[in-house]
């Protein structure tokens, strides 16, 4: 018996087998959840489909979160095939390479809009679509953030601003959806070697700096994030909502 037996969840944001979203998927699957997956474009489909099929997923759907019609089709399929939803994992974020490498003051208008649309507004629209499928089922929505939302992290730039907006959205969504019994939380993970992280200049130095200064004197791995996600979407966290849970070996508590 798994703690998620009988639960169904949809995962947005798996990039490859090293991504945080995949580690979360494995943790939820191992606990008994039935999962559906989305991908954005053919390149990601070639990575996501074998992983999803490897754990028995039958719903593997295209979804560019900037396109309302694709989001609509995902949730119409979930409604038709499943009829309900218990878990939504939002691990979607994007900013252009230029807007990550240039100083924040040089962020382009288009780049700012794109980062906030993909990384922040997508949580709002996905939550709105998921809510009717979660009513009466103690549903759980979980997203991913980073300490760059709270403090300046060089080269994180517009993504830090997008993550700050994402964390505020978690609180407002938790307030809106709480009366329906739906919980909304975020995990603020420490730096992990992922495809997304590779786009941040100086990432190796970030890993070294974090491990030196974190109370546990080490970096974290994706499986540790997966286990925390399992707790947050399960009944063990039935009274937890609107929270930003740090999984970073304690780095976020440090001043000097």
Q: Residue 199 has what pLDDT?
A: 57
Q: Strand, coil or helix: what is 153?
A: coil
Enumerate the active-site residues.
146, 156
Residue 155 in contact with residue 202, Cβ under 8 Å? yes
Domains and CATH numbers, the chain: 8-247 (3.40.50.720)
pLDDT per residue as tens, the chain (256 positions): 799 999 999 999 999 999 999 999 999 999 999 999 999 999 999 999 999 999 999 999 999 999 999 999 999 999 999 999 999 999 999 999 999 989 999 999 999 999 999 999 999 999 999 999 999 999 999 999 999 999 999 889 999 999 999 999 999 999 999 999 999 999 999 998 765 666 566 777 888 889 999 999 999 999 999 999 999 999 999 999 999 999 999 999 998 8
The whole-angstrom separation of Cα 238 and Cα 183 is 8
Determine whether 6 is exposed, middle or buried from the number of CB atoms within 10 Å of its CB (0-12, 13-18, 19+).
Answer: exposed
What's residue 208's pLDDT?
A: 84
CA distance 115 to 197: 15
pTM equals: 0.95
Backbone angles phi, psi at 84, to 5 degrees: -155, 170
Q: What's residue 174's pLDDT?
A: 98
């Amino acid at each position: 018996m798994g703690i998620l037996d009988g639960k169904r969840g949809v995962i947005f944001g798996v990039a490859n087998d090293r991504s945080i979203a995949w580690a979360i998927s494995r943790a939820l699957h191992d606990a008994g959840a039935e999962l559906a997956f989305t991908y954005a474009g053919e390149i990601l489909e070639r990575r996501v489909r074998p992983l999803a099929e490897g754990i028995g997923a039958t719903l593997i759907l295209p979804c560019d979160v900037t396109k309302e019609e694709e989001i609509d089709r995902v949730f119409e399929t979930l409604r038709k095939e499943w009829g309900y939803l218990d878990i939504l994992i939002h691990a979607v974020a994007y900013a252009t390479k230029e807007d990550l490498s240039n100083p924040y003051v040089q962020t382009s208008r288009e780049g700012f809009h794109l980062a906030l649309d993909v990384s922040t507004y997508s949580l709002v629209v996905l939550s709105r679509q998921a809510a009717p499928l979660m009513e009466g089922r103690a549903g759980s929505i979980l997203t991913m953030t980073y300490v760059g939302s709270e403090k300046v992290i060089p080269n994180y730039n517009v993504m830090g601003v997008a993550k700050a907006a994402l964390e505020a959205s978690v609180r407002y969504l938790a307030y809106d959806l709480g009366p329906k019994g739906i919980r909304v939380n975020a995990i603020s993970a420490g730096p992990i070697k992922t495809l997304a992280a590779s786009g941040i200049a100086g990432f190796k130095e970030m890993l070294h700096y974090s491990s030196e200064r974190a109370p546990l004197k080490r970096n974290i791995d994706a499986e540790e994030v997966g286990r925390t996600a399992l707790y947050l979407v399960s009944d063990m966290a039935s009274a937890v909502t609107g929270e930003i849970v740090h999984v970073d070996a304690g780095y976020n508590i440090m001043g000097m």
